[in-house]
Structures are given as structure tokens and as C-alpha cells.
A and B are shown apart, each in its own frame.
Chain A
Amino acid sequence: MSRNSRRRFASRTWLAVLYVLTVVALIPLGLVLWFTVLKGLPSVIHPQFFLNVELPPCEPRCPAVSNAGVGHAIVGSGIMVGLASLMGIPVGILGGIFLAEYSYARWAGWVRLASDVLVGTPSIAIGLFAYAFLVVPLHHFSALSGSVALSVLMLPIVVRTTEGAVALIPSGLRESGLALGLPRWRVSLQLILPAAAPGVITGALLAVARAGGETAPLLFTAFGAHILEWDPSGPMQALPLTVFKYALLPYKSLQDQAWGAALVLIVLVLGINLVSRYVLRRQIALAGQL
């Protein structure tokens, strides 16, 4: 084999190796989805699964159709993520507008660094923070403290995606607004923000998906509950808590519920992610038109 054909052969071999590794990277995604559907579906196909609350474990064998469900966890997750969104998203959007509209400010650089660091902060540490700040002074676990922990998680995600979306808007729009004599806040909030809305919504959706799937910050804030709770000042169950606690118990009936809850969770989270991707594509197309 001549030197050049050896070089060509090596190049093609390496290319093949890289393609194989790419396929290897996608295998875990397929496996996680496949097994969650496979093991979660038997629980999820009963409509009661979404309405009922949990039952004590029935051992050694449960009746074929168990009446246990995760209704209380779905309600709890909804309430907590909803409250967290109310706190985290508006603040995040305004912070993101600051970073994009005054990106030349020296302070913006520090805020940017802090948000990137906060994204990477271990969520369990945020849970400890919420515990010390809200659970200790109030003397009991509460869904509200869980929401605060989740909103801290959401904040930097919303900040950075809002900044990205606003920065995509051509400066011509801003300049036309200012040329018409509009004050800066009206330009930002009534011209730029609506134009950047799809991108901002993407960020909010991604933050909701992230918060909905988090377990660690809820362990010692929302704590979990066995019954349906509507009061955010008391402990509350959440879907990730259901998966975490039941998966580790030695009862088959509870493990099945954990898999069912995992399936509900993964469908919600991946659904939100795919929707937000579609919205983001529209934003990029829209920004191109402006």
C-alpha cells in the first residue's frame, strides 16, 4: 500500500469510528425512553392512575388492576412549578432585558457570569438554602419553600434565554422606537419584548421543564405527602419525589407506580422541550424578517 492510500484509509477509518461513537451516544436516549415506556405503560393506561392518590403497598400480590395513582403528585408538581414560575419568570425576563439592552454595562458582565455559575450550582445546595431560609423560620416543610427553591433554579435559565432572544432583534427596531421619541422602557417592553416573545417563551418553557423534573431541591422543602394537598403552606407531593421514593422501596406495586410517574414525567418534559424547539425556530425566522 502506498503512503497516500494508507493516509486515505486511515482517514476513512477514523471517520467511521466517529460515526460509530455518534450512534453510541444516541443509544442511551433510546434505552431510557424504551424502558420507561415499557415499564410505565401498564400503570399509566388506567385512567385512575391520574386521579387517585397512593395506596399502601399490597403484598405479596396486588389485584391485577390496582387503584393506586399519582393524582396528588401531579397536582403538587403543578402547584409548585406554577408558583415557582410566577416568581422566577418575570424576574428572569427583566434581568435578561437588562443584559441584552445594556450589554455594554460593566455590571452586565458580572450578572452574566453569576447566572452561568448559578445554572451549574448543585440543585441540592439550592434545596439546603431554601430549607435554611424558609423551612427553619416557619418550623415546618412547605410547598412554598419548594417553589422558592425551584424558582432559584429557573431564574438563570430564563435570564440567559431572554438575553439571547432580545439580542437577536435587529437594532433598527430599537432605533426606530427611540427616534419616535418613545422612552426607553416602552421601547424595551412594548417593542422589543413582543418581537422577542417566541424566544422568551422558549426560555420560560425550558425552565418549567427543568423545574418540573427536579427532585433534589424538594427533598427537604416540599418533603412529600401521601394525600392530596392544595395548601402551599404545608408539605406536598411531586412527581419526581414519587419516582425517587417508590423506586427504592421493595414493593412491586410501589415500584410500578414509580415507573408510571417516571413515564408521565418524561412525556411532559420531553414534550415541553420539543414544543419549545419549534417556538424557537419561529423566533429565528421572525428575527430574520425584521
Chain B
Amino acid sequence: MATAVETKPVVGVSRPPREGFRVFTAAIATLVPLILLLIVATLVVQAMPAIKQFGLGFLTGTDWNPVTDTFGALPAIFGTVATSFLALALALPVGVAVAIVLAEPGYTRIRGIVGTGVELLAAIPSVVYGIWALYVLGPWSYEHLEAPIADHATFITWLSSPAVRSLFNAGLVLAVMVLPTLTAISRDVIKAVPRGMKENAVALGATWWETTWRVILPSARAGIFGATILALGRALGETIAVTMIIGNAFVIPHSIFQPAYTLSSVIANEFTEATGTLYPAALVELGLVLIVVTLVVNVVALLLVRSTSGEARRAA
């Protein structure tokens, strides 16, 4: 056709596609991994004096004395791990229960309100949890949980000598704080279980509970595990609320009702007052231990959650 021959080709088509915008946004996006690497590198550099001085003994030392320049991180590591696992033990059953309820069909409005409520728990600033734990939750737990348990279990030493500011209360407030993470991801994973599996179970005559317990939860298991580990990462790194309620005692307590310390709390309390070279470096090394552990935990959790939602998508 004559007209088609006369029409000039569209300019852009004959040229290779321009990549400027792609390169530009990719460069901007690269800032995210770059900052992550920079954070880790900075902490390594700042912690170097302490790393050189103490080596691996830093992780197993139990003495923390700025006057004599002896620093060991074990009590803080113990406190961080103990509060986090306590929090998960308390939050896991509740979180999965809420996730199952939210993933059920029907009553969308009520489920929406409940879901919003649980998500708002994640929005409350850590410091507000802290002041609440210090003046409300701590005294209540001391009177109604710690003291009665300690009275009835006098023969168990790790459940003795209750205190308002304690490792147990820190675990309690952490449990509330990680609940939204646990619930939101578990709900998505449970929702991603192929509908057919549930329908098959119901068609075979399984009750609602048998379907949930024997069919849905087993196929969502890996994802819920991933959600748990992600929540663990949040609990390990939480600073302010824990600092306000844990009692700040640099010891491995003989009882969970006694004051303790966590990695992040030590940094929050002592860093601005640290003088010399070794003391601040030791504090930064605590931060380094913390960030390395949370990085590993987070990457593992993310890969787990991703692989299960990918599996569910393939199965569907």
C-alpha cells in the first residue's frame, strides 16, 4: 500500500530501547543493600579494638567491668535469647490461633476489625509498651503471676524470688510485640493452602478441627515456622521496651523472675557514657553480635516463608 510506504518508521522503534531510566532506578535501589553492608562494615570497624583484645572469649566471658576493662558478653547474650524464646513460647499458640480464625471465610467485617486490631499492636511505639510494662504490666504480673507461681513452686529455683523488673516480664511484653508479625504471616500462609485440600478433607467426612489440625496446619507448617523465626528476629532486636522492664542487671539470673540484661539494652543504657577506646568498642561488638544473629535469622525466615508460598502457588 502506498500510504504505508510513505509513512516514516516511528523513531523509537529502529533504535535499541533506552535503558537510562532502568539504570537510574536500579542505582537508587542499590542503596538498600549498600546501606545494609555499610551498617555491618561500620560496626565491624568500630568494634575492632574489642575484637582484637578479647577474640572469641568475648562471647563466653561473664564479667562486664568498664573499670578494669574486662568485657564478656555471655550474660547479655543469655538474656537476649531467653527473653526472645520466652516471648515466642507465649505468643506462638495465640498467634497461630488468631491466624486460623482470621483465615476462615465469612464474617468478613468482624474478621477485618480483629485483623486491624492485631495489626495496630505492631504500630504502637516500643517506648509506649515500655512505660506500660513498667507501670502496669510489671506490677500486675508480679502480683498475679510471678508471686503465686514462686509460692507454689518453691522447690524449683528458676521459678523463685519474683521481682517487678524481670526477665519474665520482659518476655511477656515481647510476646505482645511479636504477636502481629506471627499472626499476619501465618494468616497469609494458611490462606495460601490450596482450597482443594480442605475440600477433600471435608468430603471425606473430617470435622472442622480435623481438617484444620491434620490437613491445613501440616501443609502450612514450614510457613508458620518461617513466621516464628521472623518474629524471633524482631524479639532479638527489640530494645527500648525491654530496657525499661528487664531490670538491667549484668548477670545470668538464677531465676527467670530476676532482673537480667539483653544485648540491645546494654548498648542503649551505656553507650552515651562509654569513654576510652575499649569500652565503646565492646558495646559496638555487642551490637555486631546482635546484628549478625538477626541477619542470619531473618534471611533464613524469609527464604522459608517465600519457599512455602511459592510451593502453595505451584500446587494451586
Complex Cα gap A98–B29 (Å): 7
The A/B interface has a contact count, at CB < 8 Å, of: 255
Given contacts A32-B128, A213-B126, A262-B131, contact A125 B22 (CB under 8 A): no
**Stretch in A53-61, A62-70, A179-187, A282-290 touching the partner:** A179-187
Q: Does A138 contact B (CB under 8 A)?
A: no
Q: A94 and B120: CB pair below 8 A?
A: no
Chain B residues touching A, majority SS: helix
Which residues of the partner chain B approach A118 to less than 8 Å between Cβ atoms?
Answer: 32, 35-36
Which residues of the partner chain B approach A213 to less than 8 Å between Cβ atoms?
Answer: 123-128
Complex Cα gap A181–B11 (Å): 9
B115-135 CB contact bits vs A (8 Å, 1 = yes)? 011101101111111111011
**Please, how many residues of chain A have a CB less than 8 angstroms from a CB on the other chain?**
85
Q: Does A113 contact B (CB under 8 A)?
A: yes
Given contacts A25-B95, A216-B240, contact A184 B21 (CB under 8 A): yes
Which residues of the partner chain B approach A24 to less than 8 Å between Cβ atoms?
Answer: 94
Q: B32 and A115: CB pair below 8 A?
A: yes
Complex Cα gap A115–B32 (Å): 6
Interface centre among A8, A15, A212 (most CB of B within 10 A): A15
Complex Cα gap A98–B32 (Å): 12
Given contacts A107-B26, A244-B244, contact A113 B302 (CB under 8 A): yes
Which residues of the partner chain A approach B83 to less than 8 Å between Cβ atoms?
Answer: none
**Stretch in A42-50, A78-86, A128-136 touching the partner:** A128-136
Closest to B113 in A: A26
Q: A247 and B117: CB pair below 8 A?
A: no
Complex Cα gap A24–B39 (Å): 38
Complex Cα gap A59–B212 (Å): 59
Complex Cα gap A243–B134 (Å): 12
Complex Cα gap A18–B272 (Å): 46
Closest to A96 in B: B29
Complex Cα gap A32–B183 (Å): 19
Q: Does A258 contact B (CB under 8 A)?
A: yes
Closest to B175 in A: A28
Given contacts A117-B299, A129-B43, A155-B35, contact A270 B208 (CB under 8 A): no
Min Cβ gap B81→A in Å is 14
Q: B264 and A122: CB pair below 8 A?
A: yes
Given contacts A117-B302, A118-B32, contact A28 B39 (CB under 8 A): no
Complex Cα gap A156–B234 (Å): 15
Min Cβ gap B108→A in Å is 13
Q: A220 and B128: CB pair below 8 A?
A: no
Q: A124 and B42: CB pair below 8 A?
A: no
Which of A22, A29, A215 meets B97, CB within 8 Å? Answer: A22
Q: B29 and A219: CB pair below 8 A?
A: no
29 contacts between A and B (CB under 8 A): A8-B207, A19-B101, A25-B97, A29-B118, A32-B129, A94-B29, A98-B29, A102-B22, A105-B26, A113-B302, A117-B302, A121-B298, A122-B236, A122-B237, A122-B238, A122-B287, A128-B42, A129-B38, A185-B20, A185-B21, A209-B123, A214-B126, A220-B271, A220-B272, A243-B131, A244-B127, A247-B135, A270-B120, A273-B120
B contact residues vs A (CB 8 Å cutoff):
10, 12, 17-18, 20-22, 24-26, 28-33, 35-36, 38-39, 42-43, 45-46, 93-95, 97-98, 100-101, 114, 116-118, 120-121, 123-132, 134-137, 176, 179, 183, 207-210, 212-213, 230, 233-234, 236-240, 244, 264, 267-268, 271-272, 284, 287, 290-291, 294-295, 298-299, 302
